Amino acid sequence: MSPHSREEAPPHRTPRWIVLGWVAVLTVVAWHHIPQAQANHTHTGSNQLHIATIHGNNGTSTSPGDQDEQYCVQSRTASIDGTRMANFIEETLAKLSTIWDGTASWRVDLWRTSKFCADYDSATRATIEYEYHIKDDWYEVSLCGGYYSCVVFDNGVYDGYHTHYKWGYSYLQTEHVSGYDTRARKFINHETGHILGLKDPDYNGHCMNSVMHNDLYSSMGCTDPVWYPTASDKSSVTRIADRTNTW
Ligand SMILES: [Zn+2]
Ligand SMILES: [Zn+2]
């Protein structure tokens, strides 16, 4: 049994997706498998929750290739200006000093699209690797509900090594990001870590200097306020990109 099976949504509630994700923050998880102590960890095995393009890098300095990661942003609430949020997300991912962009020797190469997600026709949108959506609640996404931000993957493909996913969706609660502050960046970086294949803490006290194991998990005893991807986070993503992740 994988640690994610508990999170599969009832099919009748989300029939269009194979729902593969997990509650993003503040969840209390009791899991009997204890990974390597104090090590950041990833989805492993034959089904790995990460974006399929993470293993390659084939763009240029001015345009993305099909192994790069394009993302669009979509506000679905009147309280979030889409352009302001897209600018904030782009800054968080790619313009500050400690960022996800460039991780794993640029196999993580994040490109903001010029338009909002809903402004693309379906064929073009299908070429965009992942999306950030912001809404006041996510009851329509069972993994998120009314309180959590979460990540959902869709369109699994097998690459000869494992199944991974062509599309990822980061569903952000308005309240988590509306401050345009360090806390908002913490949520954006955490959910992006899920897009790239990282996991939440598996058990109480599974804490470290990691944007995946920080004080968003105070309920599990974690107190580190770090809001950006750390060296541990980046090395874990590199192991995924290298296909050497076994924990
Ligand atoms: Zn999470
Ligand atoms: Zn993969």
- Say how many Å lie between the CA of residue 106 and the centre of ligand 2: 15
The predicted pLDDT at position 61 comes to 87
In 3D, which of 198, 165, 171, 202 has the Cα closest to residue 187?
171
Q: Exposure pattern of 37-47 as b/e (b: 16+ CB <10 Å)?
A: eeebbbbbeeb
176 token code pair: 């988590």
- Say how many Å lie between the CA of residue 242 and the centre of ligand 2: 9
The predicted pLDDT at position 39 comes to 64
Find the ligand nearest to 48 CA.
2
- What average pLDDT does the segment 75-96 reach? 98
- Say how many Å lie between the CA of residue 20 and the centre of ligand 2: 14
The predicted pLDDT at position 40 comes to 79
Find the ligand nearest to 49 CA.
2
Ordered DSSP codes for 187-208:
HHHHHHHHHTTB---SSTT---
- Say how many Å lie between the CA of residue 244 and the centre of ligand 1: 22
Q: Note residues around ion ligand 1 (Cβ under 5 angstroms).
A: 24, 200
**What are the tens digits of pLDDT across the range 193-242?**
999 999 999 999 999 999 999 999 999 999 999 999 999 999 999 999 99
**What are the tens digits of pLDDT across the range 22-62?**
444 433 333 334 444 456 799 999 999 999 999 999 989 89
Q: What is the CATH number of domain 41-241?
A: 3.40.390
- Residue of higher predicted confidence among 38 and 75: 75
Cα–Cα dist 41/220, whole Å: 16
Question: Residue 47: left if φ>0, alpha if ψ -120 to 50, beta else—which one?
Answer: beta
Tally of CB atoms within 10 A around 111 = 20
- Does residue 79 surpass a pLDDT of 90? yes
Could you tell me if 185 and 192 are in contact, meaning their C-beta atoms sit under 8 angstroms apart? no
Helix/strand/coil (H, E, C) string of 127-180? Answer: CCCEEEEEECCECCCCCCECCCCEEEEEEEEECCCCEEEEEEEEEEEHHHHCCC
The predicted pLDDT at position 186 comes to 98
**What are the tens digits of pLDDT across the range 158-182?**
999 999 999 999 999 999 999 999 9
Find the ligand nearest to 201 CA.
1
- What average pLDDT does the segment 130-151 reach? 96
Find the ligand nearest to 44 CA.
2
